[in-house]
């Protein structure tokens, strides 16, 4: 079996690392294609270096364009690679432009598609990610869901009557977290690179709905500034977000650092007391490392985290961010509930493909 795996953004590198390791163990030939969507060294190459993911055979180097231009160029590039490699199937991860372009290019060439992290829904059609995930799911042949909620979403959309295989395999990000957390302390340099207070908050901001709105971004900065007066707030900042922050009238008072690699992020997660983020992946990683989370959005795909009290939605309101962070810092949580499988998602994916391909 030959699989072409399409990746382009940090969370996809993490997911691919877990699955690629199992593919190698099972003798599955994998060709890796990097669209270039995340191109900065700290957002891209460092993950391949640290996590020992095979260097992509193809790098399309497509980034910094509008959604339409980016997706169009990716379609053209991925199509050429599919025609050259002739894989049995194309595997895509998550909900980025790279995800949808990979799935659409494959389907147009009558190549089967496997979507990892299928069935997630925010029910907010203003999110580019929501459009990407819905369209990718509809044209995929294997839909590997991370939760039972994701399976139920697909059933409600009529997938019982669509010729595709829907499986709840668990979350491949948990596979990666369990594997790499054992070696992160030896690989990470974050503790020596920056001064970490005994108690600190880890925050990230990158989602378009927050960065493209000066009003929302200003409210988030203000909320983090309020919290930082009582507790150190550390923000590994996406280069694009840094540019937007410079356009606001509110100066950050919290600690800004460059984007970090996966091992540094694991160590920050292990050591922090609270996570504040608009990232879907980091919401789950907070749970994997037993940390409460405040999400800077009005909705989340990971509804089970909210339902079980591990996550709370603050939106982009400075008072809500401050007050809900204080509430979560004071809370007591039992993180030993199984929400995302037992760390065997990658094995279940490989088994399904080998048995039914």
Catalytic: 63?
no
Q: Could you tell me where the beta strands, DSSP code E, fall in 54-184? A: 58-59, 89-93, 112-116, 142-145, 165-168
* Nearest to 77, CA basis, from 31, 46, 47, 35: 35
Distance of CA 283 to the CA centre of its chain: 9
Number of Cβ within 10 Å of residue 78's Cβ equals 27
Catalytic residue of the set 38, 115, 206, 238: 206
- Distance CA(116)–CA(99), nearest Å, equals 10
Tokens 């100066």 sit on residue: 251
- Distance CA(111)–CA(139), nearest Å, equals 11
3-state DSSP helix/strand/coil % of the chain, to nearest 5: 50, 15, 35
- Distance CA(73)–CA(316), nearest Å, equals 33
- Distance CA(114)–CA(207), nearest Å, equals 25
- DSSP per-residue codes, 288-351: HTT--EEESSS--S-HHHHHTTSEEE-TT-HHHHHHHHHHHHH------S-SS-SS-HHHHHHH
- Distance CA(9)–CA(39), nearest Å, equals 9
| Positions marked catalytic | 206
């Amino acid at each position: 079996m030959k699989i072409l795996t399409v990746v382009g953004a940090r969370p996809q590198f993490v997911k691919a690392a877990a699955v690629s390791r199992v593919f190698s163990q099972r003798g599955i030939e994998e060709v890796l294609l990097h669209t270039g969507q995340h191109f900065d060294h700290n957002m891209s190459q460092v993950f391949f270096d640290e996590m020992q993911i095979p260097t992509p055979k193809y790098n399309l180097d497509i980034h910094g364009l509008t959604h339409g231009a980016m997706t169009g160029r990716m379609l053209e590039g991925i199509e050429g690679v599919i025609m050259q490699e002739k894989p049995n199937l194309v595997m895509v991860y998550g909900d980025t432009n790279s995800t949808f372009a990979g799935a659409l290019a494959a389907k147009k060439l009558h190549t089967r598609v496997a979507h990892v992290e299928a069935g997630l829904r925010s029910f907010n059609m203003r999110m580019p990610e929501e459009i990407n995930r819905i369209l990718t799911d509809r044209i995929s042949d294997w839909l590997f869901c991370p939760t039972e909620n994701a399976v139920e979403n697909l059933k409600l959309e009529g997938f019982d009557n669509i010729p595709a295989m829907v499986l709840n395999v668990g979350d491949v990000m948990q596979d990666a977290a369990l594997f790499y957390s054992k070696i992160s302390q030896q690989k990470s340099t974050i503790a020596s690179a920056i001064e970490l207070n005994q108690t600190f908050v880890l925050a990230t901001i990158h989602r378009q709905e927050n960065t493209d709105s000066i009003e929302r971004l200003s409210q988030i900065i203000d909320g983090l500034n309020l919290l930082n007066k009582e507790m150190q707030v550390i923000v590994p900042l996406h280069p694009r977000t840094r540019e937007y922050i410079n356009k606001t009238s509110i100066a950050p008072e919290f600690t800004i650092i460059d984007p970090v690699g996966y091992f540094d992020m694991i160590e920050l997660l292990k050591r922090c007391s609270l996570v504040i983020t608009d990232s879907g992946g980091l919401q789950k990683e907070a749970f994997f490392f037993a940390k409460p989370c405040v999400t800077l959005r009005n909705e989340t795909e990971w509804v089970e985290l909210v339902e079980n009290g591990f996550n709370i939605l603050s939106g982009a309101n400075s008072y809500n961010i401050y007050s809900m962070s204080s509430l979560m810092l004071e809370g007591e949580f039992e993180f030993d509930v199984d929400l995302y499988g037992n760390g065997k998602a990658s094995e279940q994916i490989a088994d399904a493909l080998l048995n039914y391909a």
